Structure 1
Protein backbone atom coordinates (compact mmCIF):
# COMPACT_ATOMS: atom_id res chain seq x y z
CA UNK A 1 0.00 0.00 0.00
CA UNK A 2 2.82 2.41 0.90
CA UNK A 3 4.64 1.59 -2.34
CA UNK A 4 1.45 2.28 -4.32
CA UNK A 5 0.98 5.61 -2.55
CA UNK A 6 4.63 6.49 -3.21
CA UNK A 7 4.28 5.56 -6.89
CA UNK A 8 1.20 7.65 -7.65
CA UNK A 9 2.30 10.65 -5.58
CA UNK A 10 5.65 10.71 -7.36
CA UNK A 11 3.93 10.18 -10.72
CA UNK A 12 1.77 13.25 -10.12
CA UNK A 13 4.70 15.34 -8.85
CA UNK A 14 6.81 14.45 -11.90
CA UNK A 15 3.89 15.13 -14.26
CA UNK A 16 3.26 18.58 -12.77
CA UNK A 17 6.95 19.39 -12.48
CA UNK A 18 7.50 19.13 -16.25
CA UNK A 19 4.43 21.17 -17.29
CA UNK A 20 6.07 24.64 -17.11
CA UNK A 21 8.25 25.38 -20.17
CA UNK A 22 11.79 24.22 -19.49
CA UNK A 23 14.92 22.92 -21.16
CA UNK A 24 13.70 19.36 -21.72
CA UNK A 25 10.07 19.89 -22.73
CA UNK A 26 10.88 22.77 -25.07
CA UNK A 27 13.64 20.69 -26.68
CA UNK A 28 11.04 17.96 -27.27
CA UNK A 29 8.65 20.51 -28.74
CA UNK A 30 11.37 22.02 -30.93
CA UNK A 31 12.38 18.57 -32.18
CA UNK A 32 8.77 17.75 -32.98
CA UNK A 33 8.49 20.92 -35.06
CA UNK A 34 11.75 20.47 -36.93
CA UNK A 35 12.07 16.67 -37.21
CA UNK A 36 8.52 15.36 -36.82
CA UNK A 37 6.36 13.67 -34.19
CA UNK A 38 8.29 10.38 -34.13
CA UNK A 39 11.59 12.13 -33.35
CA UNK A 40 9.88 14.16 -30.64
CA UNK A 41 8.58 10.99 -28.97
CA UNK A 42 12.01 9.33 -29.11
CA UNK A 43 13.63 12.41 -27.55
CA UNK A 44 10.99 12.22 -24.80
CA UNK A 45 11.85 8.54 -24.21
CA UNK A 46 15.56 9.36 -23.99
CA UNK A 47 14.88 12.16 -21.52
CA UNK A 48 12.65 9.90 -19.40
CA UNK A 49 15.39 7.26 -19.17
CA UNK A 50 17.72 9.87 -17.68
CA UNK A 51 14.98 11.10 -15.32
CA UNK A 52 14.65 7.51 -14.07
CA UNK A 53 18.38 7.53 -13.25
CA UNK A 54 18.22 11.02 -11.73
CA UNK A 55 15.29 10.05 -9.49
CA UNK A 56 17.11 6.91 -8.32
CA UNK A 57 20.27 8.92 -7.68
CA UNK A 58 18.26 11.53 -5.78
CA UNK A 59 16.59 9.05 -3.46
CA UNK A 60 19.83 7.15 -2.83
CA UNK A 61 21.78 10.33 -2.10
CA UNK A 62 18.99 12.18 -0.29
CA UNK A 63 20.46 11.51 3.16
CA UNK A 64 23.89 12.76 2.10
CA UNK A 65 22.55 15.82 0.27
CA UNK A 66 20.41 16.88 3.24
CA UNK A 67 23.42 16.66 5.52
CA UNK A 68 25.67 18.51 3.03
CA UNK A 69 23.82 21.56 1.61
CA UNK A 70 26.97 22.51 -0.31
CA UNK A 71 26.33 19.56 -2.65
CA UNK A 72 23.03 21.08 -3.76
CA UNK A 73 24.77 24.45 -4.17
CA UNK A 74 27.36 22.84 -6.42
CA UNK A 75 24.61 21.24 -8.51
CA UNK A 76 23.07 24.67 -8.99
CA UNK A 77 26.44 26.14 -9.97
CA UNK A 78 26.86 23.45 -12.62
CA UNK A 79 23.33 24.19 -13.85
CA UNK A 80 24.15 27.90 -14.05
CA UNK A 81 27.13 27.27 -16.35
CA UNK A 82 25.15 24.81 -18.48
CA UNK A 83 22.27 27.26 -18.99
CA UNK A 84 24.64 30.10 -19.91
CA UNK A 85 26.33 27.89 -22.50
CA UNK A 86 23.03 26.68 -23.94
CA UNK A 87 21.67 30.22 -24.04
CA UNK A 88 24.61 31.36 -26.18
CA UNK A 89 24.22 28.29 -28.41
CA UNK A 90 20.51 28.81 -29.07
CA UNK A 91 21.00 32.53 -29.70
CA UNK A 92 23.70 31.82 -32.29
CA UNK A 93 21.49 29.14 -33.87
CA UNK A 94 18.59 31.60 -34.07
CA UNK A 95 20.77 34.16 -35.83
CA UNK A 96 21.60 31.75 -38.64
CA UNK A 97 18.27 29.91 -38.88
CA UNK A 98 16.73 29.94 -42.34
CA UNK A 99 13.32 31.54 -42.30
CA UNK A 100 11.95 28.77 -44.51
CA UNK A 101 12.43 25.99 -42.00
CA UNK A 102 11.30 22.57 -43.10
CA UNK A 103 11.33 19.19 -41.41
CA UNK A 104 14.28 16.90 -41.95
CA UNK A 105 14.61 13.28 -40.95
CA UNK A 106 16.53 12.36 -37.82
CA UNK A 107 17.48 8.81 -36.85
CA UNK A 108 15.86 7.28 -33.78
CA UNK A 109 19.28 6.60 -32.24
CA UNK A 110 20.28 10.26 -32.62
CA UNK A 111 16.95 11.42 -31.14
CA UNK A 112 17.33 9.04 -28.20
CA UNK A 113 20.85 10.26 -27.45
CA UNK A 114 19.70 13.86 -27.86
CA UNK A 115 16.95 13.36 -25.28
CA UNK A 116 19.33 11.66 -22.85
CA UNK A 117 21.96 14.39 -23.30
CA UNK A 118 19.57 17.29 -22.78
CA UNK A 119 18.03 15.64 -19.71
CA UNK A 120 21.50 14.87 -18.38
CA UNK A 121 22.50 18.53 -18.68
CA UNK A 122 19.39 19.53 -16.72
CA UNK A 123 20.40 19.02 -13.07
CA UNK A 124 17.28 20.61 -11.55
CA UNK A 125 15.32 17.33 -11.21
CA UNK A 126 17.83 15.93 -8.69
CA UNK A 127 17.13 18.48 -5.88
CA UNK A 128 13.44 18.32 -6.85
CA UNK A 129 13.26 14.55 -6.40
CA UNK A 130 15.34 14.73 -3.23
CA UNK A 131 12.67 17.01 -1.75
CA UNK A 132 9.85 14.72 -2.89
CA UNK A 133 11.54 11.66 -1.43
CA UNK A 134 12.00 13.50 1.88
CA UNK A 135 8.22 13.83 2.17
CA UNK A 136 8.02 10.07 2.60
CA UNK A 137 10.65 9.98 5.32
CA UNK A 138 9.93 11.56 8.68
CA UNK A 139 13.62 11.81 9.59
CA UNK A 140 14.60 12.94 6.07
CA UNK A 141 16.92 9.95 5.69
CA UNK A 142 14.87 8.31 2.97
CA UNK A 143 15.70 4.74 4.00
CA UNK A 144 13.44 3.06 1.45
CA UNK A 145 13.40 -0.56 0.34
CA UNK A 146 14.56 -1.38 -3.18
CA UNK A 147 10.93 -1.93 -4.19
CA UNK A 148 10.13 1.63 -3.10
CA UNK A 149 13.22 3.02 -4.82
CA UNK A 150 12.30 1.34 -8.12
CA UNK A 151 8.66 2.46 -7.78
CA UNK A 152 9.78 6.03 -7.07
CA UNK A 153 12.17 6.15 -10.04
CA UNK A 154 9.73 4.48 -12.42
CA UNK A 155 6.94 6.85 -11.43
CA UNK A 156 9.23 9.84 -12.00
CA UNK A 157 10.10 8.58 -15.48
CA UNK A 158 6.49 7.77 -16.44
CA UNK A 159 5.18 11.08 -15.12
CA UNK A 160 7.85 12.96 -17.06
CA UNK A 161 7.21 11.03 -20.27
CA UNK A 162 3.44 11.60 -20.01
CA UNK A 163 3.89 15.38 -19.90
CA UNK A 164 6.51 15.33 -22.65
CA UNK A 165 4.20 13.26 -24.85
CA UNK A 166 1.47 15.87 -24.35
CA UNK A 167 3.94 18.48 -25.62
CA UNK A 168 4.58 16.30 -28.69
CA UNK A 169 0.84 15.83 -29.26
CA UNK A 170 0.12 19.54 -28.96
CA UNK A 171 2.91 20.70 -31.26
CA UNK A 172 2.07 18.00 -33.80
CA UNK A 173 -1.46 19.41 -33.93
CA UNK A 174 -0.22 22.83 -35.01
CA UNK A 175 1.72 21.36 -37.89
CA UNK A 176 0.37 23.96 -40.32
CA UNK A 177 2.11 26.72 -38.33
CA UNK A 178 5.42 24.87 -38.10
CA UNK A 179 7.40 27.33 -40.23
CA UNK A 180 6.29 30.35 -38.20
CA UNK A 181 6.92 28.70 -34.83
CA UNK A 182 10.22 27.09 -35.81
CA UNK A 183 11.43 30.49 -36.99
CA UNK A 184 11.32 31.76 -33.41
CA UNK A 185 12.01 28.47 -31.57
CA UNK A 186 15.72 29.13 -31.05
CA UNK A 187 15.07 32.69 -29.86
CA UNK A 188 12.53 31.34 -27.39
CA UNK A 189 15.02 28.73 -26.15
CA UNK A 190 17.69 31.44 -25.74
CA UNK A 191 15.30 33.59 -23.67
CA UNK A 192 14.27 30.53 -21.64
CA UNK A 193 17.94 29.80 -20.85
CA UNK A 194 18.37 33.42 -19.74
CA UNK A 195 15.40 33.05 -17.39
CA UNK A 196 16.81 29.81 -15.97
CA UNK A 197 20.18 31.52 -15.44
CA UNK A 198 18.39 34.29 -13.53
CA UNK A 199 16.38 31.84 -11.39
CA UNK A 200 19.47 29.74 -10.64
CA UNK A 201 21.43 32.87 -9.70
CA UNK A 202 18.68 33.89 -7.26
CA UNK A 203 18.64 30.43 -5.66
CA UNK A 204 22.41 30.52 -5.27
CA UNK A 205 23.08 34.01 -4.01
CA UNK A 206 19.85 35.46 -2.59
Structure 2
Protein backbone atom coordinates (compact mmCIF):
# COMPACT_ATOMS: atom_id res chain seq x y z
CA UNK A 1 0.00 0.00 0.00
CA UNK A 2 1.17 3.49 -0.83
CA UNK A 3 2.66 5.31 2.14
CA UNK A 4 1.15 8.49 0.68
CA UNK A 5 -2.38 7.08 0.99
CA UNK A 6 -1.69 6.04 4.58
CA UNK A 7 -0.40 9.50 5.42
CA UNK A 8 -3.39 11.23 3.78
CA UNK A 9 -5.87 8.93 5.56
CA UNK A 10 -4.37 9.78 8.95
CA UNK A 11 -4.18 13.46 8.03
CA UNK A 12 -7.79 13.70 6.81
CA UNK A 13 -9.46 12.08 9.80
CA UNK A 14 -7.24 13.95 12.22
CA UNK A 15 -8.12 17.26 10.57
CA UNK A 16 -11.89 16.76 10.56
CA UNK A 17 -11.79 15.19 14.02
CA UNK A 18 -10.18 18.36 15.40
CA UNK A 19 -12.72 20.80 13.94
CA UNK A 20 -15.41 20.67 16.68
CA UNK A 21 -14.64 23.28 19.38
CA UNK A 22 -12.64 21.88 22.28
CA UNK A 23 -10.05 22.97 24.80
CA UNK A 24 -7.20 22.58 22.30
CA UNK A 25 -8.44 24.65 19.38
CA UNK A 26 -10.13 27.21 21.64
CA UNK A 27 -6.87 27.79 23.54
CA UNK A 28 -5.00 28.05 20.25
CA UNK A 29 -7.51 30.65 19.09
CA UNK A 30 -7.06 32.57 22.34
CA UNK A 31 -3.31 32.81 21.77
CA UNK A 32 -3.92 33.96 18.19
CA UNK A 33 -6.38 36.66 19.22
CA UNK A 34 -3.89 37.90 21.80
CA UNK A 35 -1.38 38.14 18.94
CA UNK A 36 0.90 35.68 20.74
CA UNK A 37 1.67 33.85 17.52
CA UNK A 38 4.88 32.15 18.68
CA UNK A 39 3.11 30.88 21.78
CA UNK A 40 0.22 29.68 19.63
CA UNK A 41 2.50 27.65 17.36
CA UNK A 42 4.38 26.29 20.37
CA UNK A 43 1.07 25.19 21.89
CA UNK A 44 -0.05 23.65 18.58
CA UNK A 45 3.22 21.74 18.26
CA UNK A 46 2.83 20.30 21.76
CA UNK A 47 -0.77 19.28 21.03
CA UNK A 48 0.26 17.58 17.77
CA UNK A 49 3.10 15.67 19.43
CA UNK A 50 0.78 14.47 22.19
CA UNK A 51 -1.73 13.38 19.55
CA UNK A 52 1.14 11.44 17.95
CA UNK A 53 1.66 9.58 21.24
CA UNK A 54 -2.02 8.82 21.77
CA UNK A 55 -2.49 7.72 18.17
CA UNK A 56 0.55 5.44 18.35
CA UNK A 57 -0.85 3.74 21.47
CA UNK A 58 -4.29 3.32 19.89
CA UNK A 59 -3.01 1.99 16.56
CA UNK A 60 -0.65 -0.48 18.24
CA UNK A 61 -3.53 -1.76 20.36
CA UNK A 62 -5.76 -2.01 17.31
CA UNK A 63 -3.13 -4.03 15.43
CA UNK A 64 -2.86 -6.38 18.40
CA UNK A 65 -6.64 -6.88 18.53
CA UNK A 66 -6.98 -7.54 14.82
CA UNK A 67 -4.23 -10.16 15.03
CA UNK A 68 -6.02 -11.92 17.89
CA UNK A 69 -8.16 -14.87 16.82
CA UNK A 70 -11.86 -14.50 17.56
CA UNK A 71 -11.79 -10.70 17.76
CA UNK A 72 -10.92 -9.42 14.30
CA UNK A 73 -14.08 -10.86 12.71
CA UNK A 74 -16.27 -8.62 14.85
CA UNK A 75 -14.29 -5.43 14.42
CA UNK A 76 -16.06 -4.15 11.33
CA UNK A 77 -19.49 -4.47 12.96
CA UNK A 78 -18.35 -2.91 16.25
CA UNK A 79 -16.50 0.00 14.67
CA UNK A 80 -19.37 0.67 12.28
CA UNK A 81 -21.79 0.91 15.21
CA UNK A 82 -19.47 3.16 17.20
CA UNK A 83 -18.92 5.49 14.25
CA UNK A 84 -22.67 5.84 13.72
CA UNK A 85 -23.09 6.70 17.41
CA UNK A 86 -20.23 9.18 17.18
CA UNK A 87 -21.86 10.77 14.14
CA UNK A 88 -25.25 11.01 15.88
CA UNK A 89 -23.54 12.58 18.90
CA UNK A 90 -22.09 15.28 16.64
CA UNK A 91 -25.40 15.87 14.85
CA UNK A 92 -27.35 16.44 18.05
CA UNK A 93 -24.63 18.08 20.11
CA UNK A 94 -25.39 21.64 21.11
CA UNK A 95 -22.77 24.25 20.16
CA UNK A 96 -20.53 25.30 23.03
CA UNK A 97 -19.50 28.83 23.80
CA UNK A 98 -15.86 29.45 22.99
CA UNK A 99 -15.47 32.07 25.75
CA UNK A 100 -12.28 33.39 24.18
CA UNK A 101 -10.87 36.06 26.47
CA UNK A 102 -7.65 37.96 26.77
CA UNK A 103 -5.53 36.36 29.42
CA UNK A 104 -2.43 37.42 31.28
CA UNK A 105 -1.34 33.83 31.72
CA UNK A 106 2.45 33.42 31.92
CA UNK A 107 2.77 29.65 31.74
CA UNK A 108 4.82 28.11 29.02
CA UNK A 109 2.62 27.48 25.97
CA UNK A 110 4.32 24.23 25.04
CA UNK A 111 3.88 22.80 28.52
CA UNK A 112 0.26 23.90 28.55
CA UNK A 113 -0.27 22.21 25.20
CA UNK A 114 1.08 18.91 26.52
CA UNK A 115 -1.00 19.09 29.70
CA UNK A 116 -4.27 19.94 27.95
CA UNK A 117 -3.71 17.25 25.33
CA UNK A 118 -2.91 14.63 27.97
CA UNK A 119 -6.18 15.56 29.64
CA UNK A 120 -7.97 14.37 26.49
CA UNK A 121 -7.60 10.56 26.60
CA UNK A 122 -10.65 10.19 24.33
CA UNK A 123 -8.16 10.48 21.48
CA UNK A 124 -7.17 6.85 22.13
CA UNK A 125 -10.64 5.25 21.61
CA UNK A 126 -11.27 7.62 18.70
CA UNK A 127 -8.19 6.46 16.82
CA UNK A 128 -8.79 2.87 17.83
CA UNK A 129 -12.21 2.96 16.17
CA UNK A 130 -11.22 4.97 13.09
CA UNK A 131 -8.16 2.83 12.40
CA UNK A 132 -10.06 -0.41 12.91
CA UNK A 133 -12.71 0.81 10.50
CA UNK A 134 -10.22 1.82 7.81
CA UNK A 135 -8.44 -1.52 8.05
CA UNK A 136 -11.61 -3.62 8.14
CA UNK A 137 -12.85 -1.87 5.00
CA UNK A 138 -9.55 -2.61 3.29
CA UNK A 139 -8.84 1.09 2.71
CA UNK A 140 -5.53 1.01 4.56
CA UNK A 141 -3.14 -1.72 5.59
CA UNK A 142 -1.03 -0.85 8.61
CA UNK A 143 1.95 -2.92 9.64
CA UNK A 144 5.29 -2.48 11.32
CA UNK A 145 6.86 -0.94 8.23
CA UNK A 146 4.34 1.82 7.58
CA UNK A 147 2.89 2.28 11.08
CA UNK A 148 4.79 5.50 11.73
CA UNK A 149 3.73 7.01 8.38
CA UNK A 150 0.07 6.71 9.35
CA UNK A 151 0.66 8.10 12.85
CA UNK A 152 2.71 10.96 11.38
CA UNK A 153 -0.24 11.84 9.14
CA UNK A 154 -2.45 12.02 12.24
CA UNK A 155 -0.03 14.33 14.03
CA UNK A 156 0.43 16.60 11.00
CA UNK A 157 -3.35 16.76 10.50
CA UNK A 158 -3.81 17.99 14.07
CA UNK A 159 -1.07 20.58 13.65
CA UNK A 160 -2.45 21.85 10.34
CA UNK A 161 -5.92 22.31 11.80
CA UNK A 162 -4.47 24.29 14.70
CA UNK A 163 -2.28 26.28 12.31
CA UNK A 164 -5.44 27.12 10.36
CA UNK A 165 -7.02 28.34 13.59
CA UNK A 166 -4.00 30.60 14.16
CA UNK A 167 -4.07 31.99 10.62
CA UNK A 168 -7.84 32.52 10.57
CA UNK A 169 -7.86 34.18 13.99
CA UNK A 170 -11.16 35.89 14.70
CA UNK A 171 -12.64 34.45 11.50
CA UNK A 172 -12.45 31.01 13.10
CA UNK A 173 -15.03 32.09 15.67
CA UNK A 174 -17.51 32.52 12.82
CA UNK A 175 -16.71 28.99 11.67
CA UNK A 176 -17.19 27.68 15.21
CA UNK A 177 -20.56 29.43 15.37
CA UNK A 178 -21.63 27.55 12.24
CA UNK A 179 -22.92 24.31 13.77
CA UNK A 180 -23.31 22.75 10.31
CA UNK A 181 -19.57 22.96 9.62
CA UNK A 182 -18.29 22.16 13.10
CA UNK A 183 -20.68 19.38 14.08
CA UNK A 184 -22.99 18.22 11.32
CA UNK A 185 -20.41 17.76 8.54
CA UNK A 186 -18.11 15.56 10.71
CA UNK A 187 -21.22 13.81 12.07
CA UNK A 188 -22.53 13.00 8.60
CA UNK A 189 -19.09 11.72 7.55
CA UNK A 190 -18.92 9.35 10.53
CA UNK A 191 -22.50 8.13 10.01
CA UNK A 192 -21.77 7.51 6.34
CA UNK A 193 -18.66 5.53 7.25
CA UNK A 194 -20.62 3.47 9.77
CA UNK A 195 -23.45 2.68 7.34
CA UNK A 196 -20.99 1.78 4.60
CA UNK A 197 -19.33 -0.73 6.93
CA UNK A 198 -22.60 -2.68 7.10
CA UNK A 199 -23.41 -2.64 3.38
CA UNK A 200 -19.85 -3.08 2.12
CA UNK A 201 -19.11 -6.35 0.30
CA UNK A 202 -16.02 -6.65 2.55
CA UNK A 203 -18.34 -7.39 5.48
Give the TM-score, by structure 1 length.
Answer: 0.61
Matched, 1:18 2:10: yes
Change in Cα spacing, 1:107 to 1:52, as seen in structure 2 (3 Å) is closer
Matched, 1:173 2:167: yes
Task: Say which of 39, 47, 55 aligns to 1:51.
Answer: 55
**Counterpart of 1:77?**
77
Structure 2: which 5+ runs fail to align?
A: 30-39, 104-111
Secondary structure, aligned partner of 2:170: helix
The 8 Å contact of residues 34 and 103 in structure 1, kept in 2 or not, is answered as: yes
- Partner Cα separation in structure 1 for residue 190 and residue 159 of structure 2: 22
Q: Displacement of 1:107 after TM fit?
A: 6.9
Q: Displacement of 1:124 after TM fit?
A: 2.7
Change in Cα spacing, 1:114 to 1:34, as seen in structure 2 (3 Å) is farther
**Counterpart of 2:126?**
118
- Partner Cα separation in structure 2 for residue 93 and residue 59 of structure 1: 31
Q: Displacement of 1:77 after TM fit?
A: 1.2
Please show how residues 1-206 of structure 1 align to structure 2 within 5 Å. 10=3, 12-20=4-12, 22=13, 24-30=14-20, 31=22, 33-36=25-28, 41-56=45-60, 64=67, 71-94=71-94, 97=95, 101-103=98-100, 108-112=114-118, 113-122=121-130, 123-127=132-136, 131-133=141-143, 149=144, 152-183=146-177, 184=179, 185-203=182-200
The 8 Å contact of residues 14 and 156 in structure 1, kept in 2 or not, is answered as: yes
Q: Displacement of 1:199 after TM fit?
A: 2.3
- Partner Cα separation in structure 2 for residue 180 and residue 167 of structure 1: 15
The 8 Å contact of residues 15 and 158 in structure 2, kept in 1 or not, is answered as: yes
- Partner Cα separation in structure 2 for residue 115 and residue 43 of structure 1: 12
Q: Displacement of 1:61 after TM fit?
A: 7.2
Which protein has the bigger helix share?
Answer: 1
Structure 1: which 5+ runs fail to align?
A: 1-5, 134-148
Change in Cα spacing, 1:195 to 1:13, as seen in structure 2 (3 Å) is same
Secondary structure, aligned partner of 2:18: helix
